[in-house]
Structure 1
Amino acid sequence: MRVIVRALGIGLAATAALVLLTLGSDDTGDANIGAGLAVFAVLALGGFGWGLADGVRARSAGLLALVTRWALVSVLAVATVLAGLAVRSGWDRLDLDASSIALLGLLVLVPSVVGVLIGYAVRSGSRSRVAGDRVG
């Protein structure tokens, strides 16, 4: 359930950013760089922030379980964005190849794993300080 919530949250936020930034634009076929960068930012920042929170809050989940969770989240978030694009413009208008889809997935996966690692390290560091204070 956590995977689905995170994937839908990030994917729908990225799709909403794209729709809001392309709402008033004419359909001339020109690239809307700002909308694309907004989608990239939402994917990366959403993955990092939520990954950081997961790393800090991880109680029983191991590091490998968290990274696996975020690998699944990245795949489902990209699927959500692609579905949103298809609804907005139609499947026939999507001009994406495998490298574009992989880039979108990595924009979620890499920052989320960095966030998980930082959060996990912060959590582990605070536990050892508390344990050290009790001993001493």
Structure 2
Amino acid sequence: MSVIVRALGIGLAATAAYLLLTIGGTQGDANIGAGLAVFAVLALGGFTWALFDGMDRRGSRAVRVGLGEVLVRWVIVSVLAVAIVVAALVARYGAERLDLDASSAVLLWLLVLGPAMVGALIGYSARSAAVPGSDQARSS
């Protein structure tokens, strides 16, 4: 369930940013700002949410959630978030107007996945250093 919530949150926020910045634009004009807003929402949303996932400190569960689980979660979230953005924009404008291809989808996927992986690693490192009894805390 948490995967779906994250994917919907990031995907719908990116779609909303695009739609808000293209309101009233004439058809056929390039709106670079709207595209950059989508990129920013995908990258910052993935990074921030994954950072907090990595630092997950909810009671005793904080010790049990491994880095692998967080990373796999964000691979799935990144795929679903991009699917939501692409589906929403294709439904709104049509595939012909958007001129989407596989390389565009891969770019959007990497814009979520890359920052999310970095955020998860930073968050997990911070949690490991702060949790008493963890391997990293003992070695310091």
| TM-score for the superposition, normalised by structure 2 | 0.87
Unmatched 5+ residue regions in structure 1? 131-136
Name the counterpart of 1:21.
21
* From 101, 118, 134, the counterpart of 1:97: 101
Alpha-carbon separation, structure 2, partners of 1:128 and 1:61? 15
Deviates more, 1:14-23 or 1:49-58: 49-58
* From 80, 101, 106, the counterpart of 2:84: 80
Equivalent residues in 2 for 1:31-42 (5 A)? 31-42=30-41
Name the counterpart of 1:134.
none
Name the counterpart of 2:46.
47
Amino acid at match of 2:83: A
Name the counterpart of 2:2.
2
Question: 1:128 Cα shift?
Answer: 4.4
Alpha-carbon separation, structure 1, partners of 2:91 and 2:56? 36
Deviates more, 1:86-95 or 1:5-14: 86-95
Alpha-carbon separation, structure 2, partners of 1:65 and 1:99? 27
Unmatched 5+ residue regions in structure 2? 135-140
* From 61, 64, 68, the counterpart of 1:64: 68
Question: 1:129 Cα shift?
Answer: 8.9
CA RMSD of aligned residues (A): 1.9
Question: 1:97 Cα shift?
Answer: 1.4
Aligned: 1:113 with 2:112: no
% same residue: 64
Amino acid at match of 1:5: V
Alpha-carbon separation, structure 1, partners of 2:128 and 2:81? 29
Question: 1:102 Cα shift?
Answer: 0.4
